Structure 1
Amino acid sequence: MNILWLLVIAWRYILQADITIQNPHDDDFYILPEGFQDAHPGDILKYREIPPKLSSLFFPIEVKKVWQFVISSEDSFGNPTAFISTIIEPYNSDPSKVLSYQTFEDAANLTCSPSFGMRYGAPPEIFTTQMEMTFIVLALKHGYFVNSPDYEGLSSAFMAGRRSGKHILDSIRAVLKSENITGIKSDAKVGLWGYSAGAISTGWAAVIQSTYAPELKPNLLGAAIGGFAPDFASMAKYLDGTFLSGLIPAALFGIANEYPIFGDIIAEHVNPKLAKDLQLGNSLCATPAALYYMAGNFLKGKDSFFPAGPDLLEHKVFKKILEANSISRIKNVPDIPMLVYNGQLDQVVPIQDVRDIYSKWCNNGIESLEYTEDMLNGHFSGIVFSAPAAWTWLQERFHGKEPVKGCSKTVRYFNLFYPNASYASKAYWGGIYDSMVKNKIGPNNHTTSMADFLKSRLFRLLF
């Protein structure tokens, strides 16, 4: 499996060897514009059109147009700020339908932003965003516009929950104001989708929507979230010492980017011998961080990064900040229909945490919550094999089918067996095929047939 991923990354280096684009740290577009403090949340402060060729896991995808907006918003404390969002238009688009897709950036560095990672020519180490383009293509193939916000903001506040929710909602506000730029209708219907950290941020948007952006309720059809981690401290203990422990320093520095005092506590408690090693977590994107910190002990073991161990999570200020950024500690429930999907074998999220948030939201009166649990998939297989279930659920909302009333829980061997998911599975692989043969992405836009592809030189070269 590791060899396969190395081959994928090498292939992408070959594809983009002659392409270079500006890093966000060197790109003036990522600088807050003058007067941003006086704007209202959701205002478009500036925008640009970028080339309509985007990075994906295997092959670039060709779309009709791509814009990037700088959008006014707030941080966790209500202070004015701004962030970037990318809006993608497929060929033969439907301006009444928008999918807001939140990628799992999993990093505390602006270089790892989705708005940069999805651009053709971005370095392969921004692997997570490029992998998720295969799910974004699902919506584009059906003619939906896609909105993909940099929900961590310009300060890369990974795991700052309230901020991420505000940025997502403000990106939707901006998209619905953009008809003179994008053609998207102000009354367009919007679905939300996110996996892993993208699910956490999407969950926050759903939880705060009724108080932060109540006017969006008529537009919002619902949110699908998978690989969902409701509790930070629980997840950190679960990850510690595993092959995914690199998520811990990224999350710690992300929260420190929002709460400086949190960074002071980290500096005070880190093992002095490992302080430089820890600091690297502030600059690595998700994939390099996972490799660098693989099986690293942060809270347990003789030579852990934090000798205080799990007691660090009980530090009064540290604990208060972690709880403020854990959905499990928030009383609000989403005011829009929700689909939650997780695997019992998830290596990142304790499955009991997901069951607990399901029970909590149901007990607190959520109007519509469907939970589907997969017995045989983990975190990484789940993103692929549960995507058809999520897309099927979203499609049903866009087509006007009523969601469940109250709460519904189903346990399946595979979420691939979700009702009617086979069509979404076909569309998923069809999107990969379209990018491989350089079809322009959109409904009814297949310029190269499968028969033509099987006869092509590219097919013979690959197989």
Structure 2
Amino acid sequence: IEPATPWPGPDPRPLVSFNVTIDSLGLTCMPSHVLPHKFNMELPPFLQILADRGYGLVLTDFQGPKAAYAAGRANGRAVLDGIRAARAFTPAGDPGPLFSGSRVVQVGYSGGGIATGWAAQLQPVYAPELTGVLVGSSVGGVPADYADLFDTMDGTLASGLYRAAVLGLAREYPQLYPLLNDTGDVVAHQLRDACASTNTVGGLAPFPLSALTDVDPRTDPTVIEVMARNRLGRADPAHGADPREVPTGPVQVWHADATVPMGPGPGSSQGPGDTFVPEWTAHRLVDEWCAAGADVEYTPVAGEHVTGAYTAVGPALDWVDARARGVPITTGCR
């Protein structure tokens, strides 16, 4: 997207990769189909604000042709490919690519945070030419380790999204499919084209993953290996990770955190925090990236997993704005 809003310069118009919270299993749920054809009330106004500020935008169908929701490594590679494509694209009649000289920043929340975090982590290995070009990654509400979420999502109101995430992983790692029992086969078939709204409402029937399989998903070695392969943070060579998988550009991690007051004044009540993806998982992600040498800033926001996407619009986009405009950042971790 090249917005109508002029860019004042002096540098070229920056490019922002906005990684939508797709959280879906169907191809008609992808941004390229949804945004031109549907009115989506679930989407915080990131896209509109960024366009109004004059940024070029790229929105990638990062779940790919298999709609592999939550397949972090594949999602991250797709985001980087989308950035490559946007930087190389020359509109008809133009002398050269629109964004070839642009700074690039990316931002995404929840399922979009998975793709954003993995794109940042894989960039030095998968897209080394973007080192120094990808100047910031704003990662919100990211489920960094799916194994941590058995107690908070599996069998709870969030179980619909958790089921969909496991089925999305299976599309990239088909060794998971033989673990499904007859019920699991039926559920996988029924949900084969489900969009985020259906997967979210599916939590009203909060049956656990154990109903879909005859193995214990917490201890089965195949499940453990797939989840470990898609665990964001410390690069573990034991699960096929490259030690160079460390973000090269600065990262903002933002999360609905119970330590944030919900109102003004010293007596205001504390927010609930993210009950589905607990804030301690975000703290650990920050610690692991910091220990590996990345520059990371943690930004706690008010609310829980759903409302946190809205309360963070201001601080997340201000951070994105600063990185896109080349404002210097304090290195290290805060």
Matches within 5 A, 1:81-100: 88-94=1-7, 96-100=13-17
CA distance in 2, matches of 1:381, 1:133: 10
Match of 1:317 in 2: 222
Match of 2:268 in 1: none
Are residue 371 (structure 1) and residue 298 (structure 2) matched? yes
Are residue 381 (structure 1) and residue 307 (structure 2) matched? yes
2:207 aligns to what SS in structure 1? coil
CA distance in 1, matches of 2:55, 2:198: 33
Shift of 1:235: 2.2
Q: Compute the TM-score of the two structures, normalised by the length of structure 1.
A: 0.62
Higher strand share: 1
Shift of 1:348: 2.6
- Greater relative contact order: 1 or 2 (C-alpha under 8 angstroms, separation 6 or more)? 2
CA distance in 1, matches of 2:146, 2:192: 18
CA distance in 1, matches of 2:136, 2:319: 9
Shift of 1:259: 1.5
Match of 2:252 in 1: 339
| Matched AA of 2:285 | I
Match of 2:156 in 1: 242
Identity %: 30
CA distance in 2, matches of 1:404, 1:235: 33
Match of 2:262 in 1: none
Higher helix share: 1
1:377 aligns to what SS in structure 2? coil
Match of 1:110 in 2: 27
2:254 aligns to what SS in structure 1? strand
Matches within 5 A, 1:1-400: 88-94=1-7, 96-119=13-36, 121-122=37-38, 127=40, 131-132=42-43, 134-181=45-92, 184-265=98-179, 267=180, 270=181, 272-273=182-183, 275-299=185-209, 304-306=211-213, 308=215, 311-328=216-233, 330-331=235-236, 332-344=245-257, 345-366=273-294, 368-374=295-301, 376-400=302-326
CA distance in 2, matches of 1:278, 1:179: 41
| Matched AA of 2:328 | E
1:370 aligns to what SS in structure 2? strand
Q: Which has the larger radius of gyration?
A: 1
Unmatched tracts of structure 2, length 5 or more: 237-244, 258-272
CA distance in 1, matches of 2:81, 2:282: 27
Does the 8 Å CA contact 1:240/1:295 hold for their aligned counterparts? no
Q: Structure 1 residues 402, 324: closer, same or farther in 2, change over 3 A?
A: same
* CA displacement, residues 384-406 of structure 1 (integer Å, 9 cap, x when unaligned): 11111000011111222112210
CA distance in 1, matches of 2:150, 2:19: 22
* CA displacement, residues 254-295 of structure 1 (integer Å, 9 cap, x when unaligned): 111112111122x2xx3x456524532322111112223424
| Matched AA of 1:371 | Y
2:104 aligns to what SS in structure 1? strand
Does the 8 Å CA contact 1:297/1:305 hold for their aligned counterparts? no
Q: Structure 1 residues 164, 93: closer, same or farther in 2, change over 3 A?
A: farther
Q: Structure 1 residues 166, 277: closer, same or farther in 2, change over 3 A?
A: closer
Q: Structure 1 residues 380, 246: closer, same or farther in 2, change over 3 A?
A: same
* CA displacement, residues 72-105 of structure 1 (integer Å, 9 cap, x when unaligned): xxxxxxxxxxxxxxxx221134462111000111
CA distance in 2, matches of 1:299, 1:149: 30
Q: Compute the TM-score of the two structures, normalised by the length of structure 2.
A: 0.85
* CA displacement, residues 313-356 of structure 1 (integer Å, 9 cap, x when unaligned): 32112211111012145243211100001012113312111111
| Matched AA of 1:255 | L
CA distance in 2, matches of 1:162, 1:278: 22
Does the 8 Å CA contact 1:370/1:404 hold for their aligned counterparts? no
1:158 aligns to what SS in structure 2? coil
| Matched AA of 1:373 | P
